[in-house]
Amino acid sequence: MRSAAAALAAAAALALLLDAALARHQHHSENPVYKPSGDISLWIDQEQIKMFSGLAMEIYAIAEGQVLAYLLDPEFENKLPIIPSEVSHVNFTWKSGVKKYYYNFFRLKSFDESILKTPSITIKTQGRVPKRPKEFSILLPCAGNSGVAQFGISLMIETRKGKPLNGTPLRLRLRKECTVRDGYLGPHCKKALCYPNCMNGGNCTAPGVCSCPPGYQGPYCEGGICTEKCLNGGKCIQKDVCECPKGYFGLRCEFSKCVIPCLNGGKCRGTNICRCSNEYKGNHCEIATTARITSQRSACSKPCKHGTCQSNDTCLCEPGWYGKFCHKNKPWA
């Protein structure tokens, strides 16, 4: 797997400086309650970063109405590595929060269209920043020739009164590598590409093929191998580590949080909390519902008037009733 520095830079090369991003991640690890909420924010989410590097972290370009300082560094563009050929797009998430903001991607340009076509975005080039978190992508399509091309992206963000957000417009001039030999990159096209990157220490041995270390499996070595099978719907996520569903715990999810087991197909979903099917109810799914009784009654050639239909087409009568169809009352009962 490529170094964390190269992988994160590939994911964040459109707007983020790796060293500052890692420092910010360390800061938030010490303060886990941090989460932009009230003002405009723009970031690459954990799933995107994990796909590139195997590290679960968010990288912000704008947080709480502030363009992060490293984006304003005059040397920012020179410090960014070339975006590798296997990265054809980068997904961003943004939201305006309680305020109204308007955006304008006023420049999307390739400076060598024989190598890189003009970049594009999956949203309109102008509009209003969504109030709630919403994802969009910047697409970087290669033209079919090998080489490195520069491209430019410029973004203006303004308040509803037309005042630019401090730090904007952002004007970035970046570099993207394209290669003709499909599945390889590098000066001599000898390095195989795996996208997403091989995780958990796996090595990309051929285009799209990861060689996983002991204890891991999956197309990108993303899954673990558990010596003993995870029980009760548990999922093996790392070597000998089970992720248990709600209601279960233990090394292999072998213990239920329900002291009294859930009956009739019910599933334990918390401490002594059972989730029952539509045909049963009760704390432990021990009581048949009207729907269950009606279904059972209708299964017999003739309905059981005061009883439950059995699988052998006979009726199991309720207390105080008897007869083939539980239609006779026991006056002595």
Mean confidence (pLDDT) of the chain: 79
Asked whether 321 and 328 are in contact (CB, 8 A), the reply is yes
Task: Report which DSSP code applies to 257.
Answer: S
Q: Does a cis peptide bond (omega within 30 degrees of 0) precede residue 32? A: no
What number is the average pLDDT over the span 70-99? 82
Q: What is the pLDDT of residue 52?
A: 56
Phi-psi region of 24 (alpha: psi -120 to 50; beta: other; left: phi over 0): alpha
Lowest-pLDDT range of 109-113, 163-167, 181-185, 315-319: 181-185
Q: How far is CA 56 from CA 50, 52, 101, 208, 238, in A?
A: 5, 10, 29, 22, 15
Q: What is the pLDDT of residue 101?
A: 96
What pLDDT, in 10s, does the model give residues 271-317?
888 889 888 888 888 888 765 555 554 567 778 888 888 777 788 88
Share of the chain above pLDDT 90, in %: 21
The CA distance from 99 to 287, in Å, is 52
Angle (nearest 5°) at CA 302 between 300 and 304 = 80
What number is the average pLDDT over the span 161-188? 81
Question: Three-class SS of residue 127?
Answer: strand
The CA distance from 246 to 273, in Å, is 10
Domain boundaries, the chain: 38-185, 194-223, 231-257, 259-296, 299-332
The CA distance from 83 to 110, in Å, is 14
Same fold, 38-185 and 194-223: no
Residue in the block written with tokens 């308007």? 102
Question: Three-class SS of residue 30?
Answer: helix
38-185 — its CATH code?
2.60.40.2170
Reply yes or no on whether the pLDDT at 48 is more than 70: no
What number is the average pLDDT over the span 230-258? 87
CATH fold for domain 259-296: Laminin (2.10.25)
pLDDT higher at 122 or 145: 122
Q: What is the pLDDT of residue 87?
A: 80
What number is the average pLDDT over the span 222-249? 85
pLDDT band at 19 (very low <50, low <70, confident <90, very high): very low
For residue 70, report the phi and psi dihedrals to the nearest 5 degrees. Answer: -65, -20
Following DSSP, what letter does each residue of 178-226 receive, concatenated?
Answer: E-SSTTEETTTT-EE--SSPP-TT-EEEETTEEEPPTTEESTTS-EE--
Angle (nearest 5°) at CA 307 between 306 and 309 = 135
Q: What is the pLDDT of residue 28?
A: 44
Question: Is 2.10.25.10 the CATH number for 194-223?
Answer: yes
What number is the average pLDDT over the span 48-55? 62
Q: What is the pLDDT of residue 21?
A: 44
The CA distance from 103 to 143, in Å, is 28
Q: What is the pLDDT of residue 23?
A: 44
pLDDT higher at 314 or 182: 314
Reply yes or no on whether the pLDDT at 260 is more than 50: yes
pTM for the complete prediction?
A: 0.47
pLDDT higher at 56 or 152: 152
pLDDT higher at 298 or 167: 167
The CA distance from 326 to 234, in Å, is 45
Lowest-pLDDT range of 55-69, 130-144, 172-186, 216-230: 172-186
Closest CA to 127 of 149, 151, 94: 94
Burial of 228 (0-12, 13-18, 19+ CB in 10 A): exposed
User: What's the half-sphere exposure (Cβ side, CA atoms, 13 Å) at 256?
Assistant: 15
The CA distance from 324 to 58, in Å, is 69
